[in-house]
Amino acid sequence: MIDLHTHTIWSDGELVPAELLRRAFVAGYRAIGMTDHVDASNMKGVISALVEASKVYSGRSEIVMIPGVELTHVHPELIPEMIVEARALGAGIVVVHGESLVEPVAPGTNRAAIAGGCDILAHPGLISREDADMAARNGVLLEISARKGHCLANGHVASMARKVGARMVLNTDAHSPGDLISRAQGERILAGAGLDEDEIGVVFSNSEAVVSRLGH
């Protein structure tokens, strides 16, 4: 299992990175992205803390830790430049908090994130076909979410992705230990979004490809 979207105490998660690593390993994970919520006020500090933790635990933890961020409720006009800044500061994964059905995310966030070339558009809600097509062309991964509330549009996201050939990943958006899932649970969530067995395998392979691209 690879999970590229989780949270620690550096935003609104419950665990320090060391405990999240250990719990993820016990849950059967091979790699985990720690992508805490950021905006202009805290991005530098959060990335610095997670990058430092990843250096300390590299080679000492049983699984791979990838430091990252989730740009959250950032004004769409600012998203592209903040994606660039986050990478310059050392974020291995840049996630953008998409237009979930259960939060008042600014309209245009999905498009700005995709145009800016983020790595993953998290829980993109009722993403348009045009935006999904842009994600396919820009290589932006669309998230199928295991998180309560955000998962409500999983079927729509999967349908749009299939129509235009956009790649998908499955993430938990974990904030607490109980949010971590097994591979079997992940397969059921993807099946619930309407994916068949072959498509489910591709989704997991997409996560593997991200970790491989980062040299792990």
Low-confidence ranges of the chain (pLDDT < 70): none
Burial class (CB in 10 A: 0-12, 13-18, 19+), 185: middle
Please name the residue that has the structure tokens 């070339």: 117
Instruction: Mark 150-162 as b/e (b = at least 16 C-beta within 10 Å).
Output: bbbbbebbbebbe
DSSP code, position 61: S
pLDDT for 216 equals 86
pLDDT for 56 equals 96
pLDDT for 59 equals 84
CB-CB contact of 122 with 36 (8 Å)? no
Tell me if the pTM is above 0.95.
yes
pLDDT for 40 equals 97
pLDDT for 93 equals 98
pLDDT for 12 equals 97
Burial class (CB in 10 A: 0-12, 13-18, 19+), 59: exposed
- Mapped onto helix, strand or coil, the DSSP state of residue 119 is coil
Give the separation between CA 102 and CA 150, rounded to whole angstroms.
7
pLDDT for 180 equals 98
Please name the residue that has the structure tokens 């004004």: 75
Give the separation between CA 44 and CA 119, rounded to whole angstroms.
19
Q: CATH code for 2-213? A: 3.20.20.140
pLDDT for 37 equals 98
Instruction: Mark 71-105 as b/e (b = at least 16 C-beta within 10 Å).
Output: bbebebeebbebbebbbebbbbbbbbbbbbeeeeb
The two three-digit tokens of residue 177, written as one number: 């230990």
